[in-house]
Amino acid sequence: MHQDIGSILNGKKRPFSNTKRSERSQLHLKLCYFLLFSFVLLLLPAIVPAADEPGTEQRVSKEKIAIFDFENLSGAEDVLTHVMPAVTGLMKSKGFDLQDEESLNDFLIKERVRTTGYISRELALKMEKELNVTAVLLGTIYTFSMGSNPQLGLSARLVDSSTGEILWSEYASATGDDFTSLLGLGTLHSMEELLPVVMDRVFASFSIEPPLKVSEETYRIAVMPFLNKTELKERGMIPSYMFIAELFKNSHYVPVEFGEVRSAIVKTRIRDRGEVDYRSIAGISESLNVDGILVGAVELYSDGRETGSAPAVVISARLIDARKNRILWCDSHQMNGDEDVSILDFGKIRSVDKVAYKVISQLIKKMEKTEWK
């Protein structure tokens, strides 16, 4: 026994240590294989192309957007030469594939499309089939001025080409003087400075996915062209587009794309703005499957330039229950740009479209209290 222990201590016999060393080596080898296998698994998503995943190639290729020229209600000339390149550039920077202009123009000529401020579901479906676009981007320019105090106000919305439903909508407006600080610094003196700021505000929330709304708690609304009681042209469409933009952001309402409303107006032969009779209500309700119809009038829309006063707007609106042929709500609201002014002109609204949008926001807040029962 003494001999065995001595020989082991002298390194002549180490059967137990050799066995342990062998086990450790095997364990280390297995660990190395495991780590190598795990590393390969982690690299697989990067090695395998995304197109190899089921449905991935189709999903990416569908993110193709067609951009219509925005509707110009500002009265100014050469507006689109400034606005549309900025819109296109922003959409490209967001990584979307855009329909080429030549093919889009050929399609619009073939379909005899004259107005690009709205789109019907029928036309949207044709664009999906023939041009393979996911959605159509539309917009409206309300104010455009390149004077010493540049002004720009617009809204935009994205319409699903497969359903004709609105996926996204936003509004923004600003003037160069809005950015003037206490020391008189920061003022934007040109449209080249103002344009990218307003564009960033409009498209900051851009999404191809619509907001989640509980269908049982929402009402589908058709916004009609408003009656224009002013001496200025096309002022009746301004509140219509603004109502659509603001209703879209409200969790209680789902506005119908105006192109569909326009198709229903033609179908039911409605001629008068600001009014709908019982026959027209029934026709629109059946055609658009809406819960409510919004009509109204522009009583005043003044930028105040001729009189040297603040911009002022007066709008009246009525919400009609399309199922029961009754008026659910009616109200009017007036406002001028100086109403919220505090010290040193803070709170002053310098553009008439921004005053109009605030008027409409206030009307919708009142309309939210409507009882549909």
Residues 121 and 267 grouped into a single domain: no
* End-to-end Cα separation, the chain, in angstroms: 102
250: phi then psi, degrees, rounded to nearest 5:
-90, 135
| 148 falls within a domain | yes
Residue 117's SS3 state is coil
Instruction: Answer whether 336's CB lies under 8 Å from 310's CB.
Output: yes
Element (H, E) at 46: helix 15-47
Question: 126 in a domain, yes or no?
Answer: yes
Distance between CA 248 and CA 167 in Å, rounded?
9
Same-domain status, 178 and 235: no
Judge if 126 and 221 occupy the same domain.
Answer: no
Q: 223 and 93, same structural domain?
A: no
Q: Is residue 296 part of a domain?
A: yes
User: Domain boundary at 181, 210, 239, which?
Assistant: 210
Identify the CA nearest to 332 among candidates 348, 350, 319.
319
Which residues pair with residue 202 across a beta bridge?
none
Structure tokens at 21: 């060393």
In the block, which residue shows the tokens 């003494």? Answer: 2
In a domain, 53, yes or no: no
Do residue 35 and residue 141 come from a single domain?
no
> Looking at the 3D structure of the chain, how many domains does it have?
3
Task: Based on the fold, state whether residues 225 and 182 are members of the same structural domain.
Answer: no
Q: Which residues contact 221 (CB under 8 A, 6 or more apart)?
A: 247, 253, 254, 255, 256, 290, 291, 292, 293, 294, 319
Residues 224 and 326 in one domain: yes
Say if residue 186 is in the same domain as residue 74.
yes
- Does any domain span residue 54? no
Query: What is the rounded CA–CA span in Å between residue 101 and residue 123?
Result: 17
Residues 74 and 189 in one domain: yes
Instruction: Look up the pTM and report it.
Output: 0.82
Nearest to 299 by CA among 357, 225, 237, 228: 228
Q: Does residue 234 sit in the same domain as residue 349?
A: yes
- Report DSSP letters for 227-272, one per residue: EE-SSSTTTTHHHHHHHHHHHHTSTTEEEPPHHHHHHHHHHHT---
CA dist 238 and 246 (Å) reads: 12
Report yes or no on 277 lying in a domain: yes
Domain termination site, one of 161, 180, 210: 210
Q: What is the pLDDT of residue 217?
A: 87
Tens of pLDDT along the chain (373 residues) come to 444 434 433 444 444 445 444 555 565 555 555 555 555 455 555 444 444 333 333 333 348 999 999 999 999 999 999 999 999 999 999 999 999 999 999 999 999 999 999 999 999 999 999 999 999 999 999 999 998 899 999 999 999 999 999 999 999 999 999 998 877 789 999 999 999 999 999 999 999 999 999 888 899 999 999 999 999 988 999 999 999 999 999 999 999 999 999 999 999 999 888 888 888 999 999 999 999 999 999 999 999 988 889 999 999 999 999 999 999 999 999 999 998 776 667 778 999 999 999 999 999 999 999 999 7
- At residue 356, the 3 state secondary structure works out as helix
- Boundary of a domain, candidates 210, 236, 269: 210
Length of the chain: 373
* CATH number for position 301: 3.40.50.10070
In a domain, 55, yes or no: no
**Same domain assignment for residues 117 and 261:** no
18 lies in which domain range?
2-48
- Judgement on whether residues 166 and 301 belong to the same structural domain of the protein: no
Q: Where are the alpha helices (DSSP H) in 54-190?
A: 56-61, 80-93, 101-110, 121-131
Task: For residue 309, give the amino acid letter.
Answer: S
